[in-house]
Amino acid sequence: MSSHLVDLEQRAIELKNAGKLKEAAHIFREIVEQQPDWEHGTAWYNLAECHENLQDYESAESCYGKALEYEPRNPYFLGGLGALLYAKSEFARAFDVHLTLLEIEQASGSKGGVSRTTTALKAIGQKMGLSGAEIESRVRDKMSRP
Is pLDDT of 19 > 60? yes
Contacts of residue 29, defined as CB under 8 A and 6 or more positions apart, other chains included, come to 47
Is pLDDT of 142 > 90? no
Ordered DSSP codes for 95-129:
HHHHHHHHHHHHHHT-HHHHHHHHHHHHHHHHHTT
Question: What's the confidence (pLDDT) of residue 146?
Answer: 64
Mean pLDDT score, 20-43: 97
Give the tens place of pLDDT for each residue, 124-138.
999 999 999 999 999
Is pLDDT of 106 > 90? yes
Residue 136: Cβ-neighbour burial (10 angstroms; 0-12, 13-18, 19+): middle
Q: 117-128: string of b/e by CB count within 10 Å (b at 16+)?
A: bbebbbbbbeee
Q: Do residues 121 and 139 make contact, with C-beta atoms less than 8 angstroms apart?
A: yes
Question: What's the confidence (pLDDT) of residue 78?
Answer: 98
